[in-house]
Chain A
């Protein structure tokens, strides 16, 4: 199998898994009912994996495809706005922290998860025109940190398991 085929296959698989995670998240009860539509960001698990394995460009591609398909399948304009801002902020921060080489996958994932939540809160503040939603950032910082730890541990595991795949 040549490298290109391998790469396409791997991206196809990771995108599908990201979609499955997004679906699981969509059917789970909301983590914080006060701000509808806010999610933990389970698909970040895959984004971290792709970011470390193939770099920023591929992580952005997988993230982008995931967002488009998710919003077509089980989203609306609202959840798309949340997801896009959350995903962009999260991926940017993660790739910056990864570049500094001062944090492990867990630290990078924590930053990604908290940034994901921060992005959603920013959208919610604009949407509802009420700054008080900032209250929930407090809760989301905590849930984001916890989610980040698990996403980091999970990505470490996946990275070890996919060690044989090089592009």
Chain B
């Protein structure tokens, strides 16, 4: 009898635990959703270093070439205020499959090529190879 009530108590605690985790997740989602803003710049980082920066209002197609011998490519497309990767020769293709990004802080990561594309609110003041 006692064993049974202990069992029920544990089951109830399990449900409370799951509920708390899910409530925190939903609250986090609502918070992030409510605070998201349209970005104005698209920044390309290669191996952690910012290399290119473009206005998100431009319509451009840019070949990002990386690797010691320039053997890696990712084609960045900015169109209608959204950035995406059109093609890439990375083995996983995750960056190509990623949906378009347009809100501040959103990123597309190409792990094999060490390329990160991020939407920012403002352009940074660093020396960039190409500032549009």
Q: Is A154 an interface residue (CB 8 A)?
A: no
Q: Is B116 an interface residue (CB 8 A)?
A: yes
Contact among B9, B13, B25, B105 for A142, CB-based, below 8 A: B25
Q: Are B13 and A103 neighbours in the complex by a CB distance under 8 Å?
A: yes
Q: Report B-chain residues with C-beta under 8 Å of the C-beta of A149.
A: 18
CA gap between A33 and B26 in the complex, in Å: 20
CA gap between A52 and B93 in the complex, in Å: 40
Q: Are B25 and A37 neighbours in the complex by a CB distance under 8 Å?
A: no
Q: Report B-chain residues with C-beta under 8 Å of the C-beta of A134.
A: 28, 32
Q: Is A90 an interface residue (CB 8 A)?
A: no
Q: Are A104 and B106 neighbours in the complex by a CB distance under 8 Å?
A: no
Q: Are A37 and B22 neighbours in the complex by a CB distance under 8 Å?
A: no
Q: How many A-B residue pairs have CB under 8 A?
A: 77
In chain B, residues 51-97, which have Cβ atoms closer than 8 Å to a Cβ of chain A?
A: 92, 94, 97
Q: Are B107 and A133 neighbours in the complex by a CB distance under 8 Å?
A: yes
CA gap between A97 and B95 in the complex, in Å: 38
Q: Are A145 and B116 neighbours in the complex by a CB distance under 8 Å?
A: no
Number of interface residues of B (CB under 8 A): 28
Q: Are A36 and B111 neighbours in the complex by a CB distance under 8 Å?
A: yes
Q: How far is the CB of B56 from chain A (nearest CB, A)?
A: 16
Q: Is A129 an interface residue (CB 8 A)?
A: yes
Q: Report B-chain residues with C-beta under 8 Å of the C-beta of A35.
A: 109
CA gap between A138 and B33 in the complex, in Å: 11
Q: Are B13 and A102 neighbours in the complex by a CB distance under 8 Å?
A: yes
- Give the secondary structure class of A's interface: helix
Q: Are A107 and B21 neighbours in the complex by a CB distance under 8 Å?
A: no
Q: Are B116 and A128 neighbours in the complex by a CB distance under 8 Å?
A: yes
CA gap between A36 and B32 in the complex, in Å: 21
Most buried by A among B13, B25, B48, B97: B25
Q: Report A-chain residues with C-beta under 8 Å of the C-beta of B111.
A: 36-37, 78
Q: Are B29 and A138 neighbours in the complex by a CB distance under 8 Å?
A: yes
Interface residues of A (CB under 8 A from B): 30, 33-37, 78, 102-104, 106-107, 110-111, 114, 128-135, 137-138, 141-142, 144-145, 148-149
Interface residues of B (CB under 8 A from A): 7, 9-11, 13-14, 17-18, 21-22, 24-26, 28-29, 32, 48, 92, 94, 97-98, 105-107, 109, 111, 116, 118
